[in-house]
Chains A and B, each alone.
Chain A
Amino acid sequence: MKKRQAIVIGCSAGGLTALQSVLPGLDARLGVPIIICCHTGSADVTILVDLLDRHASLPVVEASERAPADPGVIHVAPSGYHLMVEPNFHFSLSVDAKVAYARPSIDVLFETAADAWHDGLIAVLLTGANSDGAQGLVAVRRAGGFALVQDPLTAEADVMPLAGLEAAGADACLPLDAIAAKLNELCLP
């Protein structure tokens, strides 16, 4: 089975709790970059980064413009910008119009990451009250990436995972507490 090279995660309403549940379960030896787009509504993502860093098994940082998507690090999209992955696996930002009413938009992150990593990408769509991420999930699956959607029954807000499943389907649809183990299995040698 092909070893995956990167993980992107999208979430909105209920996202903080969901991430605090998933991130501690990730194996500290995961040698892939993990990139999160979480709608927070706040002007500053620092608080989210600090909260996640307390629980995660890997370092959590705000994704830095032009910097490489370092493996073994959890990168969080800054507020007010779309976060993109360039073909050379470095981050870029844009202030283009909102996509799916959001900036940062999960669709934008997923689509550009799919362009960069193709079938090496795993995309995870978690709880949320809007349908951002659904089109991104379509792009990920079209590129041969692995789509993992949180079981809507276990989601604080089920609109986002349901929209993802309807638009793209999924390679796995798991309850929240099974997601970290699946990611470890897909990424560890």
Chain B
Amino acid sequence: MDVEDIEIQLFVRAMQLRHGYDFSEYAPASLKRRVQQLVRTHDASSISELNSRLLHEEGFVARVIEGLSVPVSEMFRDPLVFRTLRDKVFPVLASYPEINIWQAGCAHGQEVYSLAILLEEAGLYERSRIYATDFNDAALAIAADGIYATREARDWSRNYIEAGGSHSLSDYYSARYDFIKLDQRLRRNVTFFNHNLVTDEVFCEAHLILCRNVLIYFTNTLQDRTLGLFRDSLVRGGFLCLGTRENIDFSPAAAGFGDVDHALRIYQVGGPGARALSR
């Protein structure tokens, strides 16, 4: 067996035994790349050196978690997805007196603000509550601040228009030097908190769950477990939105979901094509 592969197994064990984080069901190829990246970031000579610091160095684990969940996203990524949420999902949500939305794996929060803007423009924000969760505290802090580099945000205005936005994205942020800051009024109904999809349980009854490009890092086993968690969190008729290239064909738990828009990976509990739930 390759030495580096042994070191990664030891890394996973150290995270589990010393710190209670379970990465054993993360897909191996991307996990390996991220751990290799950590070695470079922390100027370590090997993964074994990381392992040693994980065991002995106070506070090092937080920096490892930061590096292991490298959240790369943008506002209104895949604009058509947001447009379709607005056109096909929001009219159903509008029938509920209170709307609970779970943004699972919110990373730096770009999608949370995107969603908040769309809800605002649809007149649904006041009765919505968005639970934005991630297992990375550093990412949650950035998400709550809502500050992004202007250079990252270059395409976001175009995305917003393509998503069907009815104003100008600049109405929702103030620009200063190299940064933009999202209007903090957008988070008045948003709760950011730590939740780990690997180990934590159902915490709300949701009408819509967004979890885009998070399960792609999980093995089939963990993907299935998480889809089961989503299914159990959603009301009957509740919606799930995944990344546009995600594949749930191998998950038994996915049988409870039917297509709202298959190409965009928008599903509904009990929607067309869904099979009876086996809880």
Contact = CB atoms under 8 A, between A and B. Distances in A.
Interface stretch (A79-87, A125-133, A152-160): A79-87
A115 B247 contact: no
A66 B220 contact: yes
Contacts of A81: 216, 245
A94 B71 CA distance: 10
A47 interface: no
A95 B73 CA distance: 8
Contact of B216 (A67, A87, A95): A95
Contacts of B246: 65
B271 interface: no
Contacts of A92: 27, 29-30, 216
Interface string B237-263: 000000101110110000000000000
A66 to B, nearest CB: 5
A57 interface: no
A81 B73 CA distance: 12
B63 interface: no
Interface residues of A, number: 22
Contacts of A116: 29
A147 interface: no
Contact of A97 (B29, B72, B243): B72
Interface in B214-235: 216-217, 220, 223
A78 interface: yes
A141 to B, nearest CB: 16
A96 B217 CA distance: 10
Given A65-B216, A84-B30, A115-B29, A96 B247 contact: no
A95 B110 CA distance: 14
B28 A65 contact: no
B34 A96 contact: yes
B33 A108 contact: yes
A84 B33 CA distance: 10
A65 B251 CA distance: 13
Contacts of B216: 65, 81, 92-95
A77 to B, nearest CB: 10
Contacts of B243: 95
A97 B108 CA distance: 14
Contacts of A21: none
Given A87-B28, A108-B33, A94 B217 contact: yes
Interface in A81-127: 81-82, 84-87, 92-97, 108, 111-112, 115-116
A184 interface: no
> In the complex, which of the residues A67, A78, A81, A94 has the most CB atoms of chain B within 10 Å of its own CB atom?
A94
Contacts of B28: 86-87
B70 interface: yes
Contacts of A97: 70, 72
A84 B29 contact: yes
Contacts of A20: none
Nearest to A85: B29
Given A94-B216, A95-B213, A97-B70, A65 B247 contact: yes
Contacts of A111: 33
B103 to A, nearest CB: 16
22 contacts: A66-B250, A84-B30, A84-B33, A86-B29, A87-B28, A87-B29, A92-B29, A92-B216, A93-B245, A94-B216, A94-B217, A95-B72, A95-B73, A95-B213, A95-B216, A95-B243, A96-B72, A97-B70, A108-B33, A111-B33, A112-B29, A115-B32
Nearest to A67: B247
